[in-house]
Amino acid sequence: MATELTIIGKCPSDTFPLPRKKLPMTLLRKYPHLRMRTKTIQAIMRVRHQLWMSVMTFFHRQGYTSVHTPLITFSDCEGAGETFQLDGGEGFFRKPAYLTVSGQLEAEMAATALGKVFTCGPTFRAEHSDTPRHLSEFWMIEPEMAWHDLDDTIKVAQDLIVHCVSDAIESCAEELKLLRSTTLTVPEFKRITYSEAVGILQVKWGDDLGTIHERFLTDTYFKSPVVITHYPRDIKAFYMHQTEDDTVACFDLLLPTVGEAIGGSQREIRLEVLEAELERRKIDTEEYQQYLDLRRFGSVPHSGFGLGFERLVRYITEVEYIRDVIPFPRYYHC
């Protein structure tokens, strides 16, 4: 039993901005330097830590090599133009430089030498999106595997989600009890093609699927996580393996309440097909000569995906806004 109490750091109750009561997340976001003192944010951060360790353990046990990819890059991996530009070409680097949107291109370079690799790092998107599921700076888990086709890669993605959920159930019982209104269970996955999805949703073939469509499939129609494969090539990135029916060998893994959490594909390794696709999209091939060299100087079938780590944390914790599952969020108009 304590017999003496010494105050080390005084905190005047009349000016401290966070009263001792349940507070809305919108208020807590105004005090990023103080909000981690609340039980809710502490619980979220402990779950986040456990999930990070789960990811590392999963890939380590599966024989993957961790590769650190650059945060400053000289090309837009996704080709969507949603980059933060650091240098316009006349400054430090003497050519345009950007904050990375993905470590995939570098991970592919490593996978062709090391077999199975993964990279985990911050990525940056200059999207003008003020939604519960978008951040300007977030963490991406990106494995890349030689000799893996689309089906192999989908299995890795599903196994990773199952592993993380199982570990959270076992290791974070008290935190999940505080955070969630429902019981977390190990998921089972439904799998459909994009063509089947647009049939269910009754939307036009060729249109991209929005969050409302994804949530309908996971939360209402299937009531489970859903894997959607073979999207039209015109709504996906240039590097995906092209099929004969104007689709690409890709997949999105959708999670209930969250929507897309993982996007991946089998990579196009045919040099002439890749060059033609870059030209068709009017993408400057000079920026991608190293990437093309991977095909020009010998390649193997390989595939990979990107997991938005904060979206996984949000799925596990049932937190509504992605801004509340990262310690210091950066987002549009923050």
Per-residue pLDDT of the chain (334 residues; tens, 9 = 90+): 889 999 999 888 888 998 888 889 999 999 999 999 999 999 999 999 999 999 999 999 999 999 999 999 987 766 555 889 988 778 898 888 999 999 999 999 999 999 999 999 999 999 887 888 889 999 999 999 999 999 999 999 999 999 999 999 999 999 999 999 999 999 999 999 999 999 999 999 999 999 999 999 999 999 999 999 999 999 999 999 999 999 999 999 999 999 999 999 999 999 999 999 999 999 988 888 999 999 999 999 999 999 999 999 999 999 999 999 999 999 988 7
pLDDT of the residue at 76? 72
pLDDT of the residue at 168? 98
Angle of helix 150-171 versus helix 309-317 axis, rounded to 10: 50
pLDDT of the residue at 142? 98
Asked whether the beta carbons of 150 and 303 are under 8 A apart, the reply is yes
* CA gap 5, 326 in Å, rounded: 34
* CA gap 252, 229 in Å, rounded: 7
* CA gap 297, 293 in Å, rounded: 6
pLDDT of the residue at 78? 64
pLDDT of the residue at 320? 94
* CA gap 285, 279 in Å, rounded: 8
Residue 279 to residues 76, 206, 223, 284: CA-CA distances in angstroms?
A: 15, 21, 41, 8
Q: Which fold has domain 34-324?
A: BirA Bifunctional Protein; domain 2 (3.30.930)
User: Counting every residue, how long is the chain?
Assistant: 334
Asked whether the beta carbons of 201 and 193 are under 8 A apart, the reply is no
